[in-house]
C-alpha cells in the first residue's frame, strides 16, 4: 500500500495483544506508517476500546476513513471469555485484586444455564467504576484510583446471545453478542450476583464487530512487516 492509500483511508483489522491498551496499538501503527513513508502526520483511530486485559478484534481507521469510526463503533459485537465465580474485584476483572469472596457450593450447571436467560434482551446495566466513561471531565477510573466514590447511572444495553460454552467451576466459559456500550465486566459481576455468589471476568476476547472477524485480523507484528 502507498502513502496515498493510507491518507485516502484504510480499515485495518488488528488482533490486540494482551496487556496493550487500544491507544498503544493506535500509536504504534501510526508511528510505523509515518516512519515507513517519512510523513509527519497521518490520522489513525480505533472503533471501540478493548481493556488492556482483553485481546481480539480492534478496528483501526486511517486518513479519511476515521470519519467512519462512529459507524463501526455502533455495530453489534461478539466476545468469548471466562467468568470466575467465588470472588469479586473492584474493577470487575483481574486489573485489581479480589476484595470479597462468596460461597459457590450451591452453583450447579442447571442454575448457571437458567441464569443466562435473565441477561437476554434489553437490560439496565451499570458500567464499572474502573472505566473510561467521563464524569465532570474526569474518567471514572481516575476517580476510582484516587479513592473517590462516584454514583454511576445505569444505561440501556442489549444482549442478543449469551451462550455458556464450558463449565469447569469456578470457571464458566461463554460467548456473548451485544450492543455498543455493553460492559462484559459488568455482565460478569451481575451474573455472579444472580447466582447468589460473586464473580469477576478472568478472560475476554473480542471475536467480531458487525461483519468483521478476528480470524481476518493481523497481529501488530504482522501488520508492521506487511507495510
Own/partner long-range contacts of 212-219 (Cβ < 8 Å, ≥24 apart)? 212/11, 212/13, 212/57, 212/59, 212/72, 213/57, 214/13, 214/15, 214/56, 214/57, 216/13, 217/13, 217/14, 217/15, 217/56, 217/57, 217/58, 218/12, 218/13, 218/14, 218/15, 219/14, 219/15, 219/17
Note the Cα 130 to chain centre separation in Å. Answer: 13
Same domain, 46 and 103: no
Cell numbers that stand for 46 in this block: 480505533
Where residue 166 sits, what CATH number does that domain have? 3.30.2350.10
Same domain, 160 and 185: yes
When computed from its CA atoms, the radius of gyration of the chain, rounded to whole angstroms, is 19
Same domain, 16 and 82: no
User: What average pLDDT does the segment 126-137 reach?
Assistant: 71
Same domain, 112 and 154: yes
For residue 183, what pLDDT is reported? 95
Same domain, 57 and 104: no
CA dihedral for 116, 117, 118, 124, sign (positive or negative) = positive
Same domain, 145 and 113: yes
Same domain, 40 and 99: no
Same domain, 97 and 172: yes
Same domain, 51 and 62: yes
In the set 5, 15, 51, 173, the catalytic residue is: 51
* Three-state DSSP state, 17: coil
**51 has catalytic annotation:** yes
Structural domain boundaries enclosing 8:
3-74+212-226
User: Can you give the pTM of this predicted structure?
Assistant: 0.91
| pLDDT tens, residue by residue, 148-174 | 666 678 999 999 999 999 999 999 999
| pLDDT tens, residue by residue, 191-225 | 999 999 999 999 999 999 999 999 999 999 999 99
Note the Cα 191 to chain centre separation in Å. Answer: 17
Query: What are the residues facing 172 on neighbouring strands?
Result: 83, 167
Residue 140 has pLDDT above 70, yes or no: no
Same domain, 92 and 19: no
Return the exposure string of 94-104: e unless at least 16 CB atoms fall within 10 Å of the residue's CB, then b: ebeeeeeebeb
Same domain, 98 and 70: no
Same domain, 34 and 88: no
| pLDDT tens, residue by residue, 41-92 | 999 999 999 999 999 999 999 999 999 999 999 999 999 999 999 999 999 9
Report the domain count for the chain: 2
Query: What are the residues facing 56 on neighbouring strands?
Result: 16, 206
Amino acid at each position: 500500500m502507498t502513502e496515498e492509500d493510507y491518507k485516502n483511508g484504510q480499515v485495518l483489522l488488528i488482533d490486540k495483544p494482551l496487556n496493550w491498551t487500544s491507544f498503544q496499538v493506535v500509536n504504534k501503527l501510526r508511528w510505523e506508517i509515518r516512519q515507513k513513508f517519512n510523513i509527519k502526520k497521518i490520522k489513525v483511530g480505533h472503533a471501540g476500546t478493548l481493556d488492556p486485559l482483553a485481546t481480539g478484534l480492534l478496528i483501526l481507521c486511517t486518513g479519511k476513513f476515521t470519519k467512519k469510526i462512529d459507524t463501526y463503533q455502533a455495530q453489534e459485537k461478539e466476545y468469548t471469555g471466562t467468568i470466575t465465580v467465588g470472588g469479586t474485584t473492584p474493577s470487575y476483572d483481574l486489573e485489581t485484586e479480589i476484595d470479597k469472596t462468596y460461597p459457590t457450593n450451591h452453583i450447579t450447571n442447571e442454575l448457571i444455564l437458567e441464569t443466562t436467560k435473565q441477561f437476554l434482551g434489553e437490560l439496565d446495566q451499570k458500567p464499572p467504576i474502573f472505566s473510561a466513561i467521563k464524569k465532570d471531565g474526569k474518567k471514572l477510573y481516575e476517580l476510582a484510583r484516587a479513592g473517590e466514590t462516584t454514583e454511576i447511572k445505569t444505561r440501556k444495553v442489549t444482549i442478543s446471545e449469551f451462550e455458556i460454552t464450558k463449565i469447569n467451576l469456578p470457571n464458566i466459559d461463554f460467548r456473548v453478542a451485544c450492543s455498543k456500550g455493553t460492559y462484559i465486566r459488568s455482565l460478569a459481576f451481575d451474573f455472579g450476583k444472580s447466582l447468589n455468589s460473586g464473580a469477576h471476568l478472568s478472560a475476554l476476547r473480542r471475536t467480531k464487530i458487525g461483519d468483521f472477524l478476528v480470524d481476518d485480523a493481523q497481529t501488530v507484528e504482522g501488520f508492521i512487516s506487511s507495510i
